[in-house]
Amino acid sequence: MDYHSPASFAEASALAQNATGITRFLAGGTDVLVQLRSELVTPDTLIDIKKINGVHDITRNSDGSWTLGVAATGAEMSEHPELGHDWPGVVEAMDLIGSTQVQGRATLTGNLCNGSPAADSVPAMVAAGVTVTVTGPEGARDVAVENIPTGPGKTSLAKGEVISSVNIPARGENGGDAYLRFIPRTEMDIAVVGVGVNLRLDGDIITEARVSLGAVAPTVLLVEEAARAIIGTTLDDAALDALTAAASAACNPIDDKRGTIAFRTEVAGVLAKRTAKIAYARAKGEQA
């Protein structure tokens, strides 16, 4: 295995483009090293992106949007004094992943590129409308988070492409987001169902919404039907029932020891309702 620590994303991209065999990028390494140690994936080329300037930075831009470096850790996100105020759902989703030790290393970008349908941060990012900047041989482009995973362990990134930043939109007025997941134990487990909701209000009426489901299909889903069920409503009982039905209808889950198809499908509806209530309360400024 060749180890490289390039000084720029252009250099990282070129290294990956010219590499043969299996290439992995190394950020926090909490998935890559587990796969390496268990001999599931032994890369021929390992490209450590942490020596690139700015990869740990969490920056609020002048328009209120956020740019996160690809090696900014869950711990750094949780400790940031402002990020969790704007996007509590995104920060809480990331914070649910693993132990204190894992939080010291794990990153949003790694969680996304690992391609797990159950990745906790991904539904929260999809709901929030997060994009990533992808640097490749042809230059850089921005891609919506929901267009990165293509199946379990698979992404749409081509050879030579590397995610070079995470871009979170400006929070703006009267908005709120939330993420909830179901796991069979109290803490530190993989989501059986995860739901991210992000919405904006005009008075009591929801004017914009995005609803995302995790762990109920081969990829994290952006469920437009579920968003339509609550847009234009005050999140009254009828809207919540419609949301529940739309979330459950979008599910195409696996049956395994942690949750049956029927269980995951029902829980997706219940969690969508609970998550939307939290996001709504946050948009009203009623709940931190």
Partner 1 sequence: MSKLHVTTTVNGDEVEYLCDPRETLLDCLRDKLNLTGAKEGCGTGDCGACSVTVDGRLVCSCLMLGVEAEGKQIETVEGIADGYVLHPLQKKFIEYAALQCGVCTPGILVAAKSLLEKNPDPTEEEARYWLAGNLCRCTGYDKIIRAVMDTAAELREAS
Residue 1 within binding range of partner 1, rule CB under 8 A: yes
Among 183, 172, 170, 171, which residue's Cα sits nearest to residue 214? 183
Q: How many residues lie near partner 1 (CB under 8 A)?
A: 28
Q: Which is nearer to partner 1, 20 or 62 (CB)?
A: 20
The window from 100-108, 146-154, 158-166, 224-232 that contacts partner 1 (CB under 8 A) reads: 100-108
Tokens of 175: 């908005």
Query: Between residue 183 and residue 222, which ones bind partner 1 under the rule CB under 8 A?
Result: 187-188
- Answer for the pair 146, 157: CB distance below 8 angstroms, yes or no: no
Residue 50 within binding range of partner 1, rule CB under 8 A: yes
- Choice from 46, 71, 199, 250 touching partner 1 (CB under 8 A): 46
The window from 16-24, 46-54, 86-94, 204-212 that contacts partner 1 (CB under 8 A) reads: 46-54
Residue 39 within binding range of partner 1, rule CB under 8 A: no
Residue 33 within binding range of partner 1, rule CB under 8 A: yes
Strand bridging mode 45-48 / 23-26: parallel
Output the smallest distance, CB 104 to partner 1, in A. Answer: 4
Output the smallest distance, CB 287 to partner 1, in A. Answer: 20
Residue 62 within binding range of partner 1, rule CB under 8 A: no
Query: Between residue 169 and residue 188, which ones bind partner 1 under the rule CB under 8 A?
Result: 187-188
The window from 16-24, 42-50, 64-72, 240-248 that contacts partner 1 (CB under 8 A) reads: 42-50
- Choice from 54, 104, 129, 137 touching partner 1 (CB under 8 A): 104
Query: Which spans of this chain sit near partner 1 (rule: CB under 8 A)?
Result: 1-3, 5, 26, 28-30, 33-34, 36-38, 42, 46, 48, 50, 73, 75, 98-102, 104-105, 187-188
